[in-house]
Amino acid sequence: MEEAVRTEKTAKKKAVAEIRPDQCTGCGICVSVCPAACIDIIYTGLNFNGTARVSRELCISCNFCAIDCPWGAIAMVNPDGSEKLLDMHGKQVKKMRGYA
């Protein structure tokens, strides 16, 4: 029971990466930085360079892609649909990369 509650709490906190296709240039930087290898580039008739796609189930919520995307095309979205703020991305990324 306690384990179930803890899992639920963890799940509530977890934000996953979401691509904004209209801002994505298909540059592939997010694919390179994702430690979970859960982003790929898909090609459609509308964008010859491709558009990033995230596997939400595999995303570990590290924020690397959202921070490193030069076009601001990735949002970290909480389970309730709200977006994680950019300054929160920065703090988490610095910690994970050992700067803080």
Partners of 60 in the β-ladder: none
Please report how close the Cβ of residue 53 comes to ligand SF4 at its closest, in angstroms.
9
Indicate the residue among 29 and 78 with the shorter CB distance to ligand SF4.
29
For residues 47 and 26, is the Cβ–Cβ distance under 8 A? yes
Q: 56-79: buried (b, 16+ CB within 10 Å) or exposed (e) per residue? A: eeebebbbbbbbebeeebbbbbee
Indicate the residue among 1 and 94 with the shorter CB distance to ligand SF4.
94
Query: Virtual CA dihedral for 17, 65, 63, 81, nearest 10 degrees?
Result: -20
Indicate the residue among 9 and 71 with the shorter CB distance to ligand SF4.
71
85 DSSP assignment: P
Please report how close the Cβ of residue 82 comes to ligand SF4 at its closest, in angstroms.
16
Please report how close the Cβ of residue 2 comes to ligand SF4 at its closest, in angstroms.
28
The footprint of ligand SF4 (CB under 6 A) covers 17, 19, 24-30, 33-34, 36, 38-39, 52, 54, 59-65, 69, 71, 73-74
